[in-house]
Amino acid sequence: MKENINQEQMPAPLIKRLLAIFYDSFLLIAVLFLAMALLLLVSGGHEFQAGNPLITAYLLLVCFVFFGWFWTHGGQTLGMRAWKLQVQQSNGNPINWQHVALRFMTALPAWIVLFIGIALVADIQLATYSWLEQLPILAEWLIFIVGIAWLVVDQWPNGWRDKVSGTRVVKLS
């Protein structure tokens, strides 16, 4: 059943957008586990070297397809559906794969900074990024805080990601 698309819909509140991300992260983690299990089956169970750019590209592609499929089939991920949010073009029409690509690519820098910050603060060994291990603790926390702030600002209605991709996230009635 399709929602009535109204150009006058209100932008989605920031807290609901962040809660939808939180919900979606659980499903995405499960999908990434399955994607890696599939890769391990194909490789005969051989482990992969940390920092392998092909594995990183593969996982990014899985993330892209995950969000792209949901966004192009109703404009909602499961988390967005739970919080009654929808991504759509600025004019209220459904988004296409071009919009998905622009939204995904403009979101990547914020997520990269956030995950580096999480890894540093949690003292996760980043063997392939030895220069990161040399940062003092204050800088590690700063990267973590900047990652969170960037994510929050990036989720703000009419943020740069929405402007670049010509999309918006709205609250459904």
**Which amino acid is located at 142 in the chain?**
L
Would you say residue 96 has pLDDT above 50?
yes
Distance CA 20, CA 94 (A): 19
Would you say residue 74 has pLDDT above 80?
yes
Q: For residues 70 and 151, which has the higher predicted lDDT (pLDDT)?
A: 70
Q: For residues 84 and 113, which has the higher predicted lDDT (pLDDT)?
A: 84
Would you say residue 123 has pLDDT above 90?
no
Least confident of 61-70, 77-86, 90-99, 137-146: 137-146
Q: Are 76 and 167 in contact (CB under 8 A)?
A: no
Mean pLDDT score of the chain? 81
Distance CA 113, CA 161 (A): 16
Note the pLDDT tens digit of each residue in 54-65.
Answer: 888 999 999 999
Distance CA 144, CA 120 (A): 8
What burial letters (b/e) apply to 72-102, b meaning 16+ CB within 10 Å?
A: eebbbbebbbebebbbbbeeeebbeeebbeb
Tell me what the mean pLDDT of segment 93-113 comes to. 89
Show the beta-strand stretches assigned E in 54-163. Answer: 85-89
- CA diameter of the chain: 53
Highest mean pLDDT among 11-25, 75-89, 98-112, 125-139: 75-89
Would you say residue 152 has pLDDT above 60?
yes
Per DSSP, the three-state class of 109 is: helix
